[in-house]
């Protein structure tokens, strides 16, 4: 089957990691699959032989967005895929429209956020609800039990096309040595290092992590990622006099994320909103003790199938992160226990299981009945 995955922007984010795994898994199953990005934001996919770009830089204003949308429709019309898998809000909307204009009716959308009622996200939610209810895409994937419940008030015609496929989360192929990893990434030796990863945006709340440096003078913090909050994070570190203990390593490509995680003594995640929390689960599977915000979805995905927590759950604030990291430092046995539980999540979030779920949705039986023939592909 010829498949195109539609993403909004090319950068090293969680949605992009998922489409990477889906693409790799479906290619291994004999499918022809490419990923098209509406625009290039960073260079992380420049050397990917399976990636294409509609625009080479972020669009400016409405004219730029229209060029991206029209370019995507033309791309899909030229490719004539048998199926389209779309990701992120704009990817879902413009991917569905472009696929329909190209004559592709087998369309799978992915919900990367809870429904919104205000602003641009509110408009996109309304469009998504209409598309799903009318059946403009034949399947609609949510990635956790918590996310699935956010759509419980949507029309039944929308909900019957919804399938839950928990994210696959890769595991490191081998254990990396901390000293070598710190050398490779230019991070200091002989310090207690908390690490975190993710786009530098207000919802990721990395400023709460920077605040911990002022309250825990013995630790250092390394953050992998880029985004609009970079300058604010640096300014906050400077105002607290802790810039020398904050290490911003920039965007880390997917094939080096486990090298970055290997540098840490613990993983800190203060996000205020998530639908899955791929980065934190990835850190847990890599063997790091995790301190994370106590969002219901984080408690769901970071609990093993036998009910053991694979993270320390705290308030999404500086106070909460200070409390959690201090407890990890003071109780080495707790760190060992959390790390062991985290590694047991490997099978729970198998990328192969996730890809099998998508392949089932692409089957003729699924398409003809308008829903997943294997019900919910879920881990818990």
How far apart are alpha carbons 82 and 339 in whole angstroms? 42
How far apart are alpha carbons 289 and 337 in whole angstroms? 8
How far apart are alpha carbons 187 and 24 in whole angstroms? 31
How far apart are alpha carbons 380 and 377 in whole angstroms? 9
Say if residues 118 and 125 touch (Cβ distance below 8 Å). no
Same domain, 29 and 150: yes
Same domain, 210 and 335: yes
How far apart are alpha carbons 236 and 24 in whole angstroms? 40
Digit-coded pLDDT (tens) for 58-82: 999 999 999 999 999 999 999 999 9
Cα-Cα-Cα-Cα dihedral sign, residues 65, 68, 72, 73: positive
Same domain, 110 and 245: no
How far apart are alpha carbons 346 and 342 in whole angstroms? 8
How far apart are alpha carbons 69 and 185 in whole angstroms? 38
Digit-coded pLDDT (tens) for 32-68: 999 999 999 999 999 999 999 999 999 999 999 999 9
Residue 153's domain spans which residues?
2-168+350-369
Rounded mean pLDDT for each run of 10 residues along the chain, 380 residues in total: 97 92 96 98 95 96 95 97 95 95 95 88 93 94 94 95 94 91 97 97 96 96 96 98 97 94 98 95 97 98 96 98 98 97 95 95 68 45
Q: What DSSP string describes 213-235?
A: HHH-TTEEEEEE--STTHHHHHH
Residue 374 lies in a domain: no
Question: Which CATH number does the domain housing residue 53 bear?
Answer: 3.40.50.2000
Same domain, 157 and 29: yes
Same domain, 213 and 144: no
pTM to 2 decimals?
0.89
Give the chain's domain count.
2
How far apart are alpha carbons 187 and 8 in whole angstroms? 32
Say if residues 36 and 4 touch (Cβ distance below 8 Å). yes
Q: What DSSP string describes 248-292?
A: EEE---GGGHHHHHTT-SEEEE--S--SS-HHHHHHHHHT--EEE
Residue 309 lies in a domain: yes
How far apart are alpha carbons 155 and 294 in whole angstroms? 30
How far apart are alpha carbons 251 and 224 in whole angstroms? 6
- Return phi, psi of residue 85, to 5°: -115, 120
């Amino acid at each position: 089957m010829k498949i195109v995955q539609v993403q909004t922007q090319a950068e090293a984010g969680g949605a992009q990691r998922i489409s990477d795994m889906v693409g790799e898994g479906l290619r291994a199953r004999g499918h022809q699959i490419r990923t098209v990005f509406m625009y290039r934001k960073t260079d992380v996919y420049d050397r990917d032989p399976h990636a294409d770009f509609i625009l080479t830089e972020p669009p400016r204003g409405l004219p730029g967005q229209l060029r991206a949308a029209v370019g995507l429709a033309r791309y899909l019309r030229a490719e004539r895929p048998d199926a389209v898998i779309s990701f992120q809000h704009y990817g879902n909307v413009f991917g569905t429209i472009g696929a329909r204009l190209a004559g592709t009716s087998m369309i799978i959308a992915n919900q990367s956020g809870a429904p919104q009622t205000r602003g641009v996200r509110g408009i996109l939610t309304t469009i998504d609800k209409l598309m799903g209810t009318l059946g403009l895409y034949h399947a609609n994937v949510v990635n956790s039990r918590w996310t699935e419940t956010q759509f419980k008030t949507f029309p039944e015609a929308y909900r019957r096309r919804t399938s839950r496929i928990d994210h696959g989360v890769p595991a490191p192929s081998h254990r990396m040595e901390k000293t070598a990893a710190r050398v490779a990434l230019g991070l200091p030796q002989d310090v207690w290092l908390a690490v975190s990863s993710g786009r530098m945006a207000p919802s990721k709340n990395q400023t709460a992590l920077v605040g911990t440096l002022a309250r825990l003078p013995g630790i250092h913090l390394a953050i992998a990622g880029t985004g609009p909050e970079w300058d604010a994070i640096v300014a906050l570190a400077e105002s607290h006099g802790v810039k020398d203990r904050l290490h911003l390593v920039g965007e880390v490509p997917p094939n080096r994320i486990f090298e970055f995680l290997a540098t840490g003594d613990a993983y800190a995640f203060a996000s205020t909103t998530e639908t899955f929390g791929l980065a934190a689960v990835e850190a847990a599977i890599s063997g790091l003790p995790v301190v994370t915000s106590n969002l219901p979805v984080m408690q769901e995905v970071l609990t093993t199938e036998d009910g053991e927590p694979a993270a320390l759950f705290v308030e999404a604030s500086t106070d909460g992160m200070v409390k959690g990291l201090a407890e990890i430092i003071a109780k080495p046995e707790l760190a060992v226990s959390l790390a062991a539980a985290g590694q047991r999540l490997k099978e729970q979030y198998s990328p192969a299981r996730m890809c099998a779920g998508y392949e089932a949705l692409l089957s003729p039986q699924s398409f003809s009945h308008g829903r997943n023939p294997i019900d919910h592909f879920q881990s818990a």
